[in-house]
Chain A
Amino acid sequence: MSLLVLAWALTLAQVMLGLSMICAVYRVVAGPRAQDRVLGLDTLYVSAMLLLLVFGIQTGRTLYFEAALIIALLGFTGTLALAKFLMRGEVIE
């Protein structure tokens, strides 16, 4: 019984994180300005990272944790580079 509750809770959480990714994608597509798109991208990668963590909980494997850690690292670098580009017009000076 409690495992059924857990299974449904995990599925519902995945649906909610998917919806949150859709909201972020809408912000990336709709803009209206470049900084809004970067903000949408940041929200998108955080949601994707959390979705992978929930997959890891569901399957009980640590593979997903490593993928989530890499998404967190690369997402941070990407957003930082884009913010720097918006400020200066180039990434590496």
Chain B
Amino acid sequence: MILAPDLPPWAAVLVAVLVLAGAAMTLIGSVGLLRFASFYDRLHPPTLGSSSGTLLIVAASIVTFTVLRSRFSVHEILIAVFVTLTTPVTFMLLARAALYRDRIEGSADVPHVEE
């Protein structure tokens, strides 16, 4: 299915590059989630999608709607701000929960505290 918004050439190329870069970032992050060995390693790659992936695709969306409506359209910034604020909170909570569970079980591959 060939479907695209009716943008002038410079905007079309810009949006294409931004969307492809964002999707590639997200894919790299998910492949990292698949391939890394331990949970504490796997915690890192998904943030690639929720930081740079989100920012790039949100930028593409801003360019598209600003050019399409020929007025400044920035409502997508809501998503960027929200995801940027919430991802660290959830991942730190999740890491703390995993650390707590591993320590209770006396698991060997827990990151050590330098004291």
Q: Which residues of A contact B (CB under 8 A)?
A: 1-14, 16-17, 19-21, 23-24, 26-27, 33, 35-36, 38-40, 42-43, 46-47, 49-50, 53-54, 56-60, 62, 65, 68-69, 72-73, 76, 79-80, 83-84, 86-87
Contact = CB atoms under 8 A, between A and B. Distances in A.
Contacts of A53: 57-58, 61, 76, 79
A58 B86 CA distance: 27
Interface residues of B, number: 58
What's the dominant secondary structure at chain B's contact region? helix
What's the dominant secondary structure at chain A's contact region? helix
Interface string B63-99: 0110010000001101100110011011101101110
Contacts, number: 186
